[in-house]
A and B are shown apart, each in its own frame.
Chain A
Amino acid sequence: MSTPGETAGETVESAREMLPDNSFLIQYPHVSRVVRSLFLTAFVAFGIGAFMGVLQALHRTGIARIVESADYYTFLTLHGVLLAIVFTIFFLAGVFTWANTRSLDRPPVSKRFTWFWVVTMSAGTAMAGIAMLAGLLPSIDISADVLFTFYAPLQAHPIFYIGLAVFVIGTWLAGIDWFRQFLAWRREHPDERIPLQSFMVLTTMIMWFIATLGVAVEVVVFLIPWSLGIMPAPNPLLTRTLFWFFGHPIVYFWLMPAYLLWYTVLPKIAGGRLFSDPLARVVFVLFLLLSTPVGIHHQYLDPGIAEGFKFIAMTNTMFLLLPSLLTAFTVVASIEHGARQRGGTGYFGWLKALPWRDPAFTGMALAGLMFAAGGFSGMVNAGMNINYLVHNTLWVPGHFHLTVGTAVALSFMAGAYWLVPRITGRKLYSRPIGLFQVVLWFVGMVFMSAAMHRGGLAGIPRRTAEPQYPQVAFETVAGSVGSLRLQLAFGGVLLFVSALLFLMNVGLTAMNNKPARGLDSALPPALSGPEQSPTVLDNLKLWALIAVVLVILAYSLPLYSIVQGAGLYPAGQEASPAVIAPLLEVIA
């Protein structure tokens, strides 16, 4: 159903005439507008964050120092927050809004509520963004140079924390919107299995509701009152633990929409069908269960947490390899099926039959390949003993540039090449540029992340504006430190060029006068459908309950131990709001 004011002239109208009746834009013009709005914010954040990234790559390698080293950390914070929180989550919100609507075949319950959470997320982003950008202006007494990992003792302006809190509330409202949509569908289809894409959206959001409890307590109970000056500085270890309660599952919050694209869109692009719907459901249930009770593996070097708790976190983390390996199997089997449908033969000859000219396919395939490499370096991070070798070194950003920086970001870019024509009705501006862009991202990331990994093994620290110390000679396994720096900077520049090409291509697509053709929104059924799996897989209440129990088991004793050991606040500090302290004295 079309909304008044939705059309933007003849071009869009003529584009729509070319679309089949079951295309998403024709069926859900209002939802398409919501998705376009979310993608716009995501891509603006992506552009700014990418610019901050290339500045860092050139600065820390000493190739070009355009900014003061003191400002490096403002750029680093902007890079992390804009890319790892704003770009990823706004894009996720767009994909989930599309996927939930498409798979349930019904729009959200209330347009007003949908726009309310979009505005809430945007307002929170604007507040946090202003606080970070103001750090570049000495005349303004506002800054938020606390990096993406915002915990005590680094302190930001209250606007930053309040903005983040508002943003997270916006994501909760989005989740509620998608659940309301699902419940409305369920009333009409009481005995049907949950459609796969909707199942993926709902399990991801349950995981997110649980995971964000940690950051909500950290920000609302400790950081906002502290930054407002009404409470003392909290126990740093406590805020670190609460942050990582959320900080690791957010990795899967980034990944699960990429998985949704790999499981449901990639097989269609490859010309095949999903190999197994039940396996996909099992994978998402496993992520729901295992994403949160693992955050302590980010704190192996924190002295206030007992080694036994760290060992439990390591064990849980290693279990997370299972859904990733299941995904590797299922997705490769699905695209092999597609290749064989296209005439591919032989043990490896089918690879040639895949649609490598399509940037959506090639981008997602390269992203999956890089994710395998990221998984291997992630196992090093997750191992208690070998983590000590790479902790806080350049290895760590090398790892997460493979995972969130490629597996997720490249999948999102590739997904955008497929999805943007479907929500705008306009033809992709240039497939060749798109193909070149995704390959350039892959090549740039190979250069940069390989240099980061090897630099980390040599002991080069992360998060340092000038990691060149006259007294210290870093020893590399192969090549010199100078060549590593060049390699890192070169890769960073390639990535920035790739990001610009992507934004240009998507921007020109949004303004393209050529209408998109076809764009059937139907996705082919899985080779092994949901009827071949037990219905208990769809029991979301059960999985949510087990996930909560696992979190309680993993975190209750460590948190109790931290609070018992060092308190909520440093010893001797009053743990009551400063503004009511005189009142308390009178009462006493």
Chain B
Amino acid sequence: MSRLSPASLLIVGAFMVPLFIELPVVLSFVGVNLPMEVSLGMGVVAFAMVLVWSEVSEKPEAADA
């Protein structure tokens, strides 16, 4: 059973969007030039990882059982 519901995945994904849009701007202040496309790509990968984690990890109560 998925750890996160579709609604939870939607909310988590939504909160990741501003993080990865603003990441290149924040990094530019410390002299790192991260292309926007790369940052958004990282966001997609991060979301995919959350998705995989949600599918393969066990809920604590299930693990206890």
Q: Which secondary structure dominates chain A's binding surface?
A: helix
Across chains A and B, the number of contacting residue pairs, with CB separation under 8 Å, is: 45
Chain B residues, Cβ within 8 Å of A480? 36
Complex Cα distance, B23 from A268, in Å, reads 36
Which residues from 476 to 529 on chain A have a C-beta closer than 8 Å to any C-beta of chain B?
477-480, 483, 487
Choose one: B8, B17, B36; the contact of A479 (CB below 8 Å): B36
How many Å from the CB of A453 to the closest CB on chain B? 9
B14 touches A477 (CB 8 A): no
Which residues from 11 to 57 on chain B have a C-beta closer than 8 Å to any C-beta of chain A?
11, 14, 17-18, 21-22, 24-25, 27-28, 33-37
Q: With A357-B7, A478-B36, A483-B37 as given contacts, are A366 and B14 in contact (CB-CB < 8 Å)?
A: yes
A443 touches B14 (CB 8 A): yes
B21 touches A447 (CB 8 A): yes
Chain B residues, Cβ within 8 Å of A446? 17-18, 21
Q: Closest residue of chain A to B37, judged by CB?
A: A483
Chain A residues, Cβ within 8 Å of B7? 356-357, 432, 435
How many Å from the CB of A83 to the closest CB on chain B? 23
How many Å from the CB of A132 to the closest CB on chain B? 34
Q: Which secondary structure dominates chain B's binding surface?
A: helix
A450 touches B18 (CB 8 A): yes
Chain A residues, Cβ within 8 Å of B35? 479
Complex Cα distance, B11 from A442, in Å, reads 10
Choose one: B8, B21, B27; the contact of A450 (CB below 8 Å): B21
Complex Cα distance, B14 from A357, in Å, reads 14
Category for how many chain A residues contact B: 20 to 34
> Within 8 Å of chain B (Cβ to Cβ): is A77?
no
A479 touches B11 (CB 8 A): no
A32-70: CB near B (< 8 Å → 1, else 0) gives 000000000000000000000000000000000000000
Chain B residues, Cβ within 8 Å of A450? 18, 21-22
> Within 8 Å of chain B (Cβ to Cβ): is A328?
no
Chain A residues, Cβ within 8 Å of B10? 435-436, 439
A439 touches B21 (CB 8 A): no
Chain B residues, Cβ within 8 Å of A443? 14, 17
* A interface list, Cβ under 8 A from B: 356-357, 362, 366, 432, 435-436, 439, 442-443, 446-447, 450, 454, 477-480, 483, 487
Closest 5 CB pairs of A and B: A479-B36, A478-B24, A478-B28, A357-B7, A439-B14
